[in-house]
């Protein structure tokens, strides 16, 4: 029950193939260290991108999404070319041209979190209410943590697993556990 000792145990994850959307959510977990691929030092002319499953499964959405991404790639290349004509190259050109890049842009990030913060991260990000991409990442990280430190992470996961009830309320529950109000009423 003394969780302070868990702050001395750290895990480092090298994460790739995720979107900048995901990393914007990830860095909100403040008790961690991050090193993310730079868009300032790395030219993004032919950037890879992440397509959300809801877009991937619909032909029209997917077609529109890919067309939009390709237009952005073209504009980005034109901006870099124009900067070059102006005698501006490298990070000086990239730092302003990157403003056109979408949140779907694929990135790489290294994350170090202590075990206590990871338990909190899993409570929040393994929940069905979490955005799909960060939830997938959280479950992959949880799998690694359980394998390497099962005594600490054996019961880790969404808040409802830890609490034995859903704290999200009637409108947002996935139905896996009873609602808090029902547990209190019956308790």
| Positions marked active-site | 125
Residue partners of 94: CB distance under 8 A and separation at least 6: 39, 40, 41, 42, 43, 44, 80
Phi/psi of residue 109, nearest 5 degrees = -150, 145
Contact 111, 34 (CB under 8 A): yes
Q: Tell which residue, 104, 42, 44, 100, has the closest CA to residue 72.
A: 100
């Amino acid at each position: 029950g003394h969780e302070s000792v868990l702050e001395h145990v750290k895990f480092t994850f090298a994460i790739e193939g995720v979107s900048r959307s995901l990393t914007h959510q990830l860095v909100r977990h403040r008790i961690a260290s991050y090193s993310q691929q730079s868009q300032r030092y790395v030219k993004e002319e032919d950037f890879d991108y992440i397509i959300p499953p809801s877009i991937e499964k619909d032909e029209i959405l997917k077609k529109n999404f890919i067309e939009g991404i390709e237009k952005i790639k073209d504009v980005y290349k034109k901006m870099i070319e124009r900067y070059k004509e102006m005698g501006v190259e490298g990070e000086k050109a990239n730092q302003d041209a990157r403003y056109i890049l979408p949140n779907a842009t694929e990135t790489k990030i290294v994350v170090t979190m202590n075990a206590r913060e990871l338990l909190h991260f899993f409570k929040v990000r393994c929940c069905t209410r979490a955005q799909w991409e960060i939830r997938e990442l959280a479950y992959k990280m949880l799998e690694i943590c359980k394998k390497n430190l099962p005594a600490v992470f054996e019961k880790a996961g969404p808040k409802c697993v830890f609490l034995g009830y859903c704290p999200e309320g009637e409108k947002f529950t996935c139905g896996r556990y009873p609602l808090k109000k029902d547990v209190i009423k019956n308790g």
